[in-house]
Amino acid sequence: MTGGQYRSTPHRVRNAAQKDRLSFPFFFDPNFDVEVKPIELNSMIQDDRVELWDRSSVHTFEGTYGDYVLGKVSKVFPQLKRSVL
């Protein structure tokens, strides 16, 4: 939505301590029927498709958040697309 200006940092939960710990992820997502639109910023869009596992660009996506999520899930779990979606 920000053209790559604001991005999450690469992260992985890894416990380097000598004792067990709990990790609770928190995700904040919009409703499935919300139309995804870019935020107007004074920045150039960074095309980072070559760095991504699926080589897709969020900058060219048009549709709802539900369309986006279902598209991503069906790439990771193609059997779901055939059987459920």
Give the pLDDT band of residue 28 (cuts 50, 70, 90).
Answer: confident
Question: Is residue 48, in this structure, part of any structural domain at all?
Answer: no
Question: Is residue 75, in this structure, part of any structural domain at all?
Answer: yes
% the chain with pLDDT above 90: 6
Question: Is residue 40, in this structure, part of any structural domain at all?
Answer: no
Question: Is residue 24, in this structure, part of any structural domain at all?
Answer: no
User: Which distant-in-sequence residues (6+ apart) come within 8 Å of 42 by Cβ?
Assistant: none
% the chain with pLDDT above 70: 71
Question: Is residue 39, in this structure, part of any structural domain at all?
Answer: no
Question: Is residue 21, in this structure, part of any structural domain at all?
Answer: no
How many distinct structural domains can be found in the chain?
A: 1
Beta bridge partners of 64: 35
The model's pTM is 0.54
Segments forming the whole domain that contains residue 57? 53-83
Q: Residue 3: which of 36, 34, 39, 29 has the closest Cα? A: 39
pLDDT of residue 34: 92
Question: Is residue 43, in this structure, part of any structural domain at all?
Answer: no
